[in-house]
Amino acid sequence: MEPSLTTVNIPSKSMGYIAADLLLSRINSSDMPFRTTYIKTDVIFRNSTYKQ
């Protein structure tokens, strides 16, 4: 495809481990408060994006 598209690398393996850990934590302690978890992603700049 021209131009080559900019993409985001999402570490799916890490995301799976974190999701499983959160699920097991909630199962073992249902009174645990909800929380938001952030996973670092990497932007892979290609020709479709102007970068400075």
**Quick check: bond before 33 cis, omega within 30?**
no
pLDDT digits (tens, 9 = 90+) for 1-52: 788 999 999 999 999 999 999 999 999 998 988 889 999 999 999 998 876 5
Query: Could you state, in order of their start, the residue ranges of all structural domains in the chain?
Result: 7-44
pTM value > 0.75: no
